[in-house]
Amino acid sequence: MPYTITLTNGTFLTTIADATVDNTTSLTLLGRNFAGYGGYVAEDLVHMLENATNTSPPANPLVGQLYYNSNTLAMQVWNGSAWVNVGLPPAGTDIDIVNAGLILENDACPANQRKWRISVSNSVPYVGMLVFQALNDDLSVKATVMALDGVNDLILGQATYS
């Protein structure tokens, strides 16, 4: 008797006939009474555990499927038409960073000159101010370059206009 496979949302995916292999997805789906099924099942479980880690994405992905791109060292998700990085918001949306700062880094710059942080400060004398800080490679603050308080505007730094 064939298996009918549906997605989590109830949408029909495929039917797998007895003793056959189905490659509708990037996993190997097996029909009832398939000889030697154990190796296929174990391999599928390992592939899911490692999030299909490879230099190229898996074939036949499903919407929401994860893949770890070992070239770019980024977790990606299939959105139905493309692999997109996980953790980055879609273009045109706001970014919320709570109780932290946004760290910008350029590895091409010299040591201790490659990292910057933009954050709302918790440190005196800049509590509650938007600060721009130059960082050392160990993320310690090298210098607070600019602080904005939203009331008196520029508190520290120099603004230049062209």
Question: What's the Cα-to-Cα distance from 51 to each of 7, 41, 70, rounded to whole Å?
Answer: 19, 15, 11
Question: DSSP states of 100-129 as a string?
Answer: SEEEEE-TTSPTTSSEEEEEE--STT-TT-
Any idea how long the chain is? 162
Question: What's the Cα-to-Cα distance from 157 to each of 26, 33, 105, 142, rounded to whole Å?
Answer: 54, 73, 21, 15
- Give the distance from CA 8 to its chain's centroid: 23
Per-residue confidence (pLDDT) for residue 124, from 0 to 100: 87
Residues 6+ apart with CB under 8 A from 159: none
Per-residue confidence (pLDDT) for residue 6, from 0 to 100: 94
Per-residue confidence (pLDDT) for residue 112, from 0 to 100: 92
Cα separation, 26 vs 146, in Å, equals 50
Residues 6+ apart with CB under 8 A from 16: 2, 3, 5, 22, 29, 30, 31
Per-residue confidence (pLDDT) for residue 81, from 0 to 100: 94
> For the chain, which residues make up each domain, given as ranges?
1-49, 51-92, 101-156
> What are the residue ranges in the chain where pLDDT is below 50?
162
pTM passes above 0.75: no
